[in-house]
Structure 1
Amino acid sequence: MSTNSETNSTDYAAFVLRVTSGVAFLAHGWLKVSVFTIPGTVAFFESLGLPGFFAYLTILAELGGGLALILGVGVRAVSIPLIAVLLGSLWAHLGNGWTFSNSGGGWEFPLFWALIQTVILMLGAGAYALRLPVLDRILGKFA
């Protein structure tokens, strides 16, 4: 049985993880829109042999998912597609070696981030989460 201080520590840890991960997702999504541009991102996905439509889904997941994580809305449900995005990024970087400083970026950062997102999935929203009763009813334990 955990004490209140342990529960609070876990809630605050979940809060810090979800907000920092959310900010990183927003940054990555915004980079695809503002620097690489949407057409450039689509072209990159197609150069990997992926359908260009995946670029739009990725941008939506990163921007929408990042915002949801920061707000603490549907955190567990949002984590699942974000993990899929990160596993796709891991796949895209596999041939570039281990470290992300390698040409084209290595695969250790997407792997680490996928594991962090998995921890967020397990912990849930934690402290300071925006609770939407209708979403809680729809998603249940995945809210």
Structure 2
Amino acid sequence: MNRNNVGAVVLRVILGVTFFIHGLSKFQGGLGNTAAFFESLGIPGFSAYVVAVIELIGGVMLILGIGTRIVSVLFAVIMLGAIFTVKFSAGFLGDGQMTGYELELALLAMAIFLAIVNSAAFSLGNKIFRSEDRI
């Protein structure tokens, strides 16, 4: 294993933990509240349930290294949605009332990186499927 593999594993686990915690937070805070927030933005409320499930289950999958590329693409789509529907108007650092989109942009970059590179080192998916190209 080289340094690039170690870096990819670190990013994969950190991104997985971050999204898992965000998904868990949505469930703990009540998905109805999240759905109402989505609706206040003009986004269908049911999409809050989809996002929460993707964040929770996708986070676990990334931590374990299962379906990394697919989950990373889903996370990238979620971050693009968050940036353009909620955060963009506040600017990069925020407007004093709401945080900016700097965190979402960093998470987007991490997700894109993981969707592109091979991050099969220390992954359960690699052990199950025995092919680094499928992870």
Give the TM-score normalised by the residue count of structure 2. Answer: 0.88
SS of corresponding position for 1:105: coil
Q: Name structure 2 gaps, 5 residues minimum.
A: none
- The CA RMSD measured in Å over matched residues stands at 1.9
1:29 aligns to what SS in structure 2?
A: helix
Are the aligned partners of 1:45 and 1:55 in contact in 2 as well (CA < 8 Å)?
yes
Measured in 2, the distance between the counterparts of 1:31 and 1:61 equals 13
Please report the TM-score for the alignment, with normalisation by the length of structure 1.
0.84
The residue identity in structure 2 corresponding to 1:82 is F
Task: Show the counterpart of 2:60.
Answer: 67
2:88 maps to 94
Over 6 Å off, 4+ runs:
none
Spell out the pairing of 1:69-88 with structure 2 (5 A cutoff).
Answer: 69-88=62-81
Unaligned runs of 5+ in 1: 1-6
Q: Distance in 1 between matches of 2:35 and 2:108?
A: 22
Q: Percent same amino acid among aligned pairs?
A: 34
How far apart are the structure 1 equivalents of 2:69 and 2:31? 27
C-alpha deviation, 1:111, in angstroms: 1.2
Shift of 1:142: 4.7
Once residues 59 and 104 of structure 1 are traced to their aligned partners in structure 2, the CA distance between those partners, rounded to angstroms, is: 21
The match for 1:26 among 20, 26, 32 is 20
Distance 1:38 1:114, change over 3 A: same
For residues 63 and 96 of structure 2, what CA distance do their matches in structure 1 show?
30
What is the count of residue pairs matched by the alignment? 132
Moved more, 122-131 or 77-86: 122-131
Change in Cα spacing, 1:63 to 1:11, as seen in structure 2 (3 Å) is same
Alignment of 1:16-55 (within 5 A): 16-35=10-29, 37-55=30-48
Q: Give 2:111's match in structure 1, choosing from 79, 98, 117.
A: 117
